[in-house]
Amino acid sequence: MRQNARDFYRRKRQPKDAGVTLVELLAALAVGSLLLLGVYAITGLFTSTIGVEHAERSIDRQADAVVQFVERSVKDADQLTANGTEITATRKVVESESAPAKREVVTLTLGTGKVSRRCVLYDADDTSLPCTSPKGDSDLEVPDLLDTSEARADLRTLVLTLRFRVPGGEREVVRVVPLMR
């Protein structure tokens, strides 16, 4: 038995042994590359799925913010018109019984990346005055909002068709704002 053990260690490596080792090395390298490629593919799939879900949630939050901004701006309006990208709400402002009524006009504009609110107060002679309403002039930043968004007023509702920029194109969100009259 000792003789067999010594012969094993004394034996020289043959060229055919080296070839087998090279083939095994290439096969192991190919299998390792395929496994690594599979890991990258699975990771990329999850990453893209997570990215799409994040974009969807972001668009929903932005649409909700626009709806709340519009609702607060047109609340208590006596007259409401909406045509295209502009919403105009008019309401009477009575400061006292002896003073003449004034008219407050709030104009909302749906633009790229923001919704703008402008307020003008008119006296009985249609002279414009600075708006004293807490609504005032302000802008709501909506990063993904496109200027192709639209608003339409019906008898009891305001329909907002909001278009947002998303990876790979645009997404349209329709929201209905009920009006209390």
Number of structural domains the chain divides into: 1
Q: Is 129 exposed, middle or buried (0-12, 13-18, 19+ CB in 10 A)?
A: exposed
pTM exceeding the 0.75 threshold for the entire prediction = no
Residues 6+ apart with CB under 8 A from 160: 66, 67, 70, 110, 149, 150, 151, 174, 175, 176, 177
| pLDDT tens per residue across span 31-61 | 888 888 887 777 776 666 666 677 788 888 9
What integer is the mean pLDDT of 93-99?
73
In a domain, 13, yes or no: no
Q: What is the pLDDT of residue 31?
A: 87
Domain-embedded: residue 10: no
Instruction: Domain of residue 161: give its range.
Output: 51-178
Question: Do the domain assignments include residue 15?
Answer: no
Q: Give the residue from 102, 108, 165, 89 showing the smallest Cα distance to 128.
A: 102
For 78-139, the DSSP string reads: SEEEEEETEEEEEEEE-S-SSSPPEEEEEEEEEETTEEEEEEEEE-TT--EE---SSS-SEE
Instruction: Report the pLDDT averaged over residues 159-181.
Output: 85
The verdict on residue 150 lying in a domain is yes
Question: End-to-end CA distance of the chain, in Å?
Answer: 105
- Asked whether residue 159 is domain-assigned, the answer is yes
**What is the Cα–Cα distance from 2 to 75, expressed in whole angstroms?**
101
How high is the pLDDT of residue 64? 92
22 falls within a domain: no
66-82 pLDDT, tens digit per residue, is 999 988 888 888 888 89
In order of 69, 77, 103, 105, 137, the CA distances from 93 in angstroms are: 21, 10, 6, 10, 17
In a domain? residue 34 = no
Q: Do the domain assignments include residue 134?
A: yes
- Positive/negative CA dihedral, 102, 95, 74, 135: positive
